[in-house]
């Protein structure tokens, strides 16, 4: 159990560092270029809510603290990217952008809090469908969030991320994050398989112990019954003698 806890914590903090910060280079690059051209605002908006549902699911399950914090940072940076679009492309003032950003953060925080209570209620009622709903939705949102970005890429006929010249450090950053994301995903399925294998083995051992215990109890009852029968027969013989 302690080994599983350690693995969960390690993977959680790796996810906190790499997965939650994967949009940070994009937000910085947009700020540096002074334009969000080529970045789909719909992708960032969908990912904002993906982070909300992921936060609900992770907090509801009570898993590693790192996995509680991870969706919050991801949602926060997604919100930054959304309002960069309003600031640079729709010419919102800095004050208006900041106010909109703060209100949006409070809104998604309230939505997440409400959904956490809903998740806990589903757990109390043992509503497996409701619990799975909160686990499936973020996956759909994360994957679906790529679609508007792909549309933006095909519309522009190019990937406008790095500007006219590709900076090697930026490229290395994106590639590293992508590889580490894949690594975390692979570790998730590997350790899920490992934990299921341990669980099956544990259940098998418990079943064997129960069978042995049942046989032992049956044997004890049989011996006890046999002894009682013998004592009863002896008592009857003594009564006949008398």
- Digit-coded pLDDT (tens) for 100-121: 999 999 999 999 999 999 999 9
- For the chain, the average pLDDT equals 75
Higher local confidence (pLDDT), 150 or 15: 150
Alpha carbon 84 to chain centroid distance?
27
Instruction: For residue 66, report the phi and psi dihedrals to the nearest 5 degrees.
Output: -60, -35
Query: d(Cα 86, Cα 67) in Å, to the nearest integer?
Result: 30
CB 135 within 8 A of CB 67: no
pLDDT in tens, 43-61: 899 989 988 998 898 888 8
Model-wide pTM > 0.85? no
Average pLDDT of the residues in 74-87: 93
Place of tokens 């693995």: 7
Instruction: Reply yes or no on whether the pLDDT at 16 is more than 50.
Output: yes
Nearest Cα neighbor of 26 from 104, 66, 79 is 79
Q: Do residues 16 and 66 lie in contact, with contact meaning Cβ atoms separated by under 8 Å?
A: yes
Residue 165 DSSP class: S
Distance CA 16, CA 11 (A): 8
Q: How confident is the model at residue 239 (pLDDT cuts 50, 70, 90)?
A: very low
Taking the CA atoms of 61, 65, 70 and 72 in sequence, report the sign of the dihedral they define: positive
The greatest distance separating any two alpha carbons of the chain, rounded to the nearest whole angstrom, comes to 117
């Amino acid at each position: 159990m302690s080994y599983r806890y350690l693995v969960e914590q390690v993977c959680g903090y790796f996810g906190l560092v790499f997965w939650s910060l994967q949009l940070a280079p994009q937000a910085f690059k947009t700020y540096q270029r002074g334009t969000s051209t080529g970045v789909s605002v719909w992708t960032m908006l969908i990912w904002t809510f993906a982070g909300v549902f992921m936060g609900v699911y992770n907090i509801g399950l009570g898993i590693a603290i790192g996995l509680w914090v991870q969706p919050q940072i991801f949602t926060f940076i997604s919100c930054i990217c959304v309002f960069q679009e309003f600031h640079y492309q729709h010419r919102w003032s800095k004050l208006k952008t900041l106010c909109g950003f703060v209100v949006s953060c409070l809104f998604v925080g309230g939505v997440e809090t409400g959904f956490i209570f809903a998740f806990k209620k589903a757990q109390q009622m043992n509503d497996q469908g409701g619990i799975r709903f909160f686990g499936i939705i973020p996956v759909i949102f994360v994957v679906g969030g790529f679609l508007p970005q792909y549309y933006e890429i095909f519309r522009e006929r190019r990937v406008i991320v790095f500007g006219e010249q590709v900076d090697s450090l930026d490229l290395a950053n994106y590639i590293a994050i992508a590889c580490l994301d894949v690594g975390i995903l692979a570790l998730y399925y590997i350790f899920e398989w490992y934990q299921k294998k341990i669980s099956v083995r544990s259940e098998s051992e418990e079943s064997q112990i129960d069978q042995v215990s049942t046989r032992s109890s049956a044997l004890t009852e049989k011996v006890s019954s046999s002894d009682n029968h013998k004592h009863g027969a002896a008592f009857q013989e003594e009564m006949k003698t008398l």
